[in-house]
């Protein structure tokens, strides 16, 4: 199956408020044929120099497998993002699927969010939204930064968390309670946290600690170790990417009732 060329759809006025929609060949024309949606949220420690380009290989590969891919760009630190703008964009960007669904034939009863690194943080955060126009039905985190307080303590990526949120947990605990996936538990949707066994960018504790806390809270969550480094998880053709495909396929079978 050959995917369509990506179509850029704006969800706001800022240049970074857009998503790239990549459809499987032909899209869907009847309810039984509507493709499940995968929202792709790229990483880069929330910094503006990293863009939606990181999500395009995943979008092309997944669309070729029959998914409708929504490669979401958002304001990041250095381009008008941070707290609360980045979070507003993730919410608005996902909810923008609602007006797009009738025109492009999308199945919004199956919306899996696939997030890599800092995008994994935003993907899990999005699953905890209440009153969303487009609810998330599942999350696949690819070496996600899922414990912001620990990430700050470890000074990951030279102070990326403070650069992103503009404060510390001690100075603004309410902000961290709203922004940190670990503090937003329990969740009602399943989270599969994949982590490479040779990852040197995001420590395993970020995925393992979140999953342990999620399970203790009664949330459906699972940790899966995969072979490879941090970027193998976003590189089609690797063993790590095969694990991503497996997780997305299994989670996309679920529908909202």
pLDDT in tens, 210-249: 999 999 999 999 999 999 999 999 999 999 999 999 999 9
pTM attached to this predicted model: 0.96
What is the reported pLDDT for 31? 40
CA distance 85 to 74: 9
Is 90 exceeded by the pLDDT of residue 22? yes
Confidence of residue 3 (pLDDT cuts 50, 70, 90): confident
- For 78-115, how does the pLDDT look when each residue is reduced to its tens digit (9 = 90+)? 999 999 999 999 999 999 999 999 999 999 999 999 99
């Amino acid at each position: 199956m050959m995917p369509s060329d990506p179509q850029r759809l704006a969800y706001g006025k800022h240049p970074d408020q857009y998503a790239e929609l990549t459809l499987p060949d032909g899209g869907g024309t009847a309810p039984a044929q509507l493709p499940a949606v995968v929202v792709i949220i790229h990483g880069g420690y929330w910094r503006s120099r990293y863009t939606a380009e990181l999500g395009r290989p995943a979008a092309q590969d997944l669309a070729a497998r029959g998914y409708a891919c929504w490669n979401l760009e958002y304001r990041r630190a250095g381009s008008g993002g941070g707290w609360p703008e980045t979070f507003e964009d993730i919410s608005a960007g996902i909810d923008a699927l609602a007006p797009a669904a009738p025109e492009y034939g999308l199945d919004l009863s199956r919306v899996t969010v696939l997030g890599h690194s800092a995008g994994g943080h935003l993907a899990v955060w999005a699953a905890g939204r209440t009153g969303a126009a487009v609810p998330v039905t599942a999350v696949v985190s690819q070496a996600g930064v899922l414990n912001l307080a620990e990430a700050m303590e470890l000074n990951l990526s030279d102070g990326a968390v403070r650069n992103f949120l503009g404060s510390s947990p001690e100075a603004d605990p309410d902000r961290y309670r709203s922004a940190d996936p670990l503090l937003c538990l329990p969740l009602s949707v399943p989270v599969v946290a994949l982590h490479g066994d040779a990852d040197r960018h995001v420590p395993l504790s970020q995925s393992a600690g979140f999953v342990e806390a999620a399970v203790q809270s009664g949330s459906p969550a699972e940790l899966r170790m995969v072979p490879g480094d941090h970027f193998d998880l976003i590189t089609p053709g690797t063993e790590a990417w095969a694990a991503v495909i497996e997780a997305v396929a299994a989670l996309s079978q679920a529908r909202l009732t």
